[in-house]
Amino acid sequence: MGRALGRRPHGADRPRQVHRAAGAVRPGPADRPGDAVTSAATVAAVPGRGHWVRGVVQDVAPPGVDDLAPGYLDPALLPVELLADAAVRALATYGPAALSYGENQGALRLRALLAERAADEPSPAGPEHVMLTAGTSQALHLIATTLARPGDVVLLDEASYDLAQRLFTDCGLLLRRLASDEGGTSVTALDEAARAVRAEGRRVAFLYATPTFHNPTGRTFSRTRREELLSVAARHGVLVVEDDAYAELLLDPGEPVPSMAGIAGHRGVLRLRTFAKTLAPGLRLGWLSGEPGLVGRLAAHGLVQSGGALNHTMSMVVTRLLEDGDYDRHLPVLRAGLRERRTALLKGLASQGACGWTATPSRGGFFLWLECAPGLPEEELLAKAFASRMRIAPGSRFGHAGPTAVRLSYAFNPPGLLERAGRRLAAHLHDPARHQEGRGSC
């Protein structure tokens, strides 16, 4: 029966070859007419992007619209063949153990490998500090529903990842926005907010911090700023949830700034990592690290007791990528692809003499944060972008309330498109008659 269960499908002597992604992505073959996953879908495919259509993926801009909004990887940067190979190798190596309920905190070997990746941090970590997650969103949901209760207050930057805000409020948590400066979250604002929440008889759920390649502003907080924030958080007994999704995507020369978790020796910090930005978001795989007691508390939740490791089979696939060195060979290729795209977007934007905007220097990640010259209302910029068939993410989406700013993703599109889109946007931003002074004056 084992043989029958494990049989190959009729007519297939061996797994079909996975198409190599070579520059442009070629759609895979459908097995028979009418077989496409989208046969029931309203198809709005981007030419050359195959099954990348509504009904399959999360969000697709209308045809002909250049989408600089989403924090997605370009389909051409998603390692299709690498993952197909790893899946086959993982199932060959681990057999049914890769298909079982996984150890609650995640397979020990993978946790050890992930802990080793933080070996250059100020504080060493062991597998006991690590728990596998089904991605950062799932980790945030577990934390928000386990370590906080409805009515508690999340402290976060004035401009923060919009969908994390949505997630927190959907868990019944309240939001308290903290002022920021060029260096990151204001230490004074954190201190005052923590006092104010307590004075109101509420409890702080946690500080939601993205100190590295901040989403949306791209900022990286200095080590000193991190230490100051940690000190204030510790004084108030406030847990820090450090969303470090882009940690491995340093694009510029130089050393990374240590994580808040590493600086704090894990005390009072839960650091969230993910493979969504370095391999593929569909895997729904990430990990968190923290003090073993706190991590153990999360791993003891009935959700995990009942279902086991939060995404076990996929975690065993990724174990192969780490064990075999594929992941470490993949990262520099990915970084090169992102660097090329960032350069292309900046080149397009500079086509009008970099007039009418200032980009926050971002050392890595997916985003440019453009602060526009005074006098350009956000609605006007969005209307112009819309009219020129372009989608951008306005600052207001993230809670930004100052002069008009937009987040531009250079991760999702090929370089040529990014340069062209940058040129169009530059034309919208460039208005010498209006921008006589201030930032990005012409």
Report the candidate in 228, 192, 167, 163 with the shortest Cα–Cα distance to residue 177.
Answer: 192
| 80-94 and 312-323 helices, crossing angle to 10° | 100
Q: Using CB under 8 A, which of the segments 263-271, 276-284, 384-392, 419-427 binds a second copy?
A: 276-284
Q: Which of residues 132-191 bind a second copy (CB under 8 A)?
A: 134-138, 140-142, 145-146, 149-150, 163-172
Find the shortest distance in angstroms from Cβ 149 to a second copy: 6
Q: Which two tokens stand for residue 48?
A: 């050359």
Q: Is 199 in the site for a second copy (CB under 8 A)?
A: no
User: What track of x and - describes contact with a second copy for positions 337 through 366 (by CB under 8 A)?
Assistant: x-----------------------------
**C-alpha separations of 425 from 63, 110, 218, 346, 391 in Å:** 19, 44, 19, 11, 10
Measured CA to CA, the distance from residue 440 to residue 442 in angstroms comes to 6
Q: Is 69 in the site for a second copy (CB under 8 A)?
A: no
Find the shortest distance in angstroms from Cβ 166 to a second copy: 4
Q: Is 117 in the site for a second copy (CB under 8 A)?
A: no
Q: Is 23 in the site for a second copy (CB under 8 A)?
A: yes
Find the DSSP H helices in 119-278. 136-146, 162-170, 187-199, 223-236, 260-263
Find the shortest distance in angstroms from Cβ 6 to a second copy: 4
Burial class of residue 40, CB neighbours in 10 A (0-12, 13-18, 19+): exposed
Give how many residues touch a second copy by CB under 8 A.
Answer: 135
Exactly one of 103, 192, 227, 378 binds a second copy (CB under 8 A); that residue is 103
Q: Is 37 in the site for a second copy (CB under 8 A)?
A: yes
Measured CA to CA, the distance from residue 33 to residue 50 in angstroms comes to 15
| 108-116 and 312-323 helices, crossing angle to 10° | 50
Question: Which residue number, 67 or 191, has a Cβ lying nearer to a second copy?
Answer: 67
Q: Which of residues 202-261 bind a second copy (CB under 8 A)?
A: none
Measured CA to CA, the distance from residue 202 to residue 150 in angstroms comes to 10
Find the shortest distance in angstroms from Cβ 355 to a second copy: 32
Burial class of residue 159, CB neighbours in 10 A (0-12, 13-18, 19+): buried
Exactly one of 87, 131, 207, 241 binds a second copy (CB under 8 A); that residue is 87
Exactly one of 68, 77, 247, 406 binds a second copy (CB under 8 A); that residue is 77
Question: Which residue number, 110 or 194, has a Cβ lying nearer to a second copy?
Answer: 110
Q: Using CB under 8 A, which of the segments 219-227, 299-307, 348-356, 431-439 binds a second copy?
A: 299-307
The residues with which 289 forms a beta bridge, in sequence order, are: 130, 271
Q: Using CB under 8 A, which of the segments 2-10, 220-228, 345-353, 403-411 binds a second copy?
A: 2-10
Q: Is 335 in the site for a second copy (CB under 8 A)?
A: no
Q: Is 2 in the site for a second copy (CB under 8 A)?
A: yes
Find the shortest distance in angstroms from Cβ 306 to a second copy: 4
How far from each other are the two terminal CA atoms of the chain, in whole angstroms? 75
**C-alpha separations of 366 from 116, 246, 248, 350 in Å:** 25, 8, 11, 19
Q: Which of residues 302-321 bind a second copy (CB under 8 A)?
A: 302-314, 316, 319
CB-based burial, 288-299: b 16+ in 10 Å, e otherwise? bbbbbebbeebb
Question: Which residue number, 74 or 121, has a Cβ lying nearer to a second copy?
Answer: 74
Dihedral angle, C-alpha 130, 132, 134, 137, nearest 10 °: 0
Find the shortest distance in angstroms from Cβ 293 to a second copy: 16
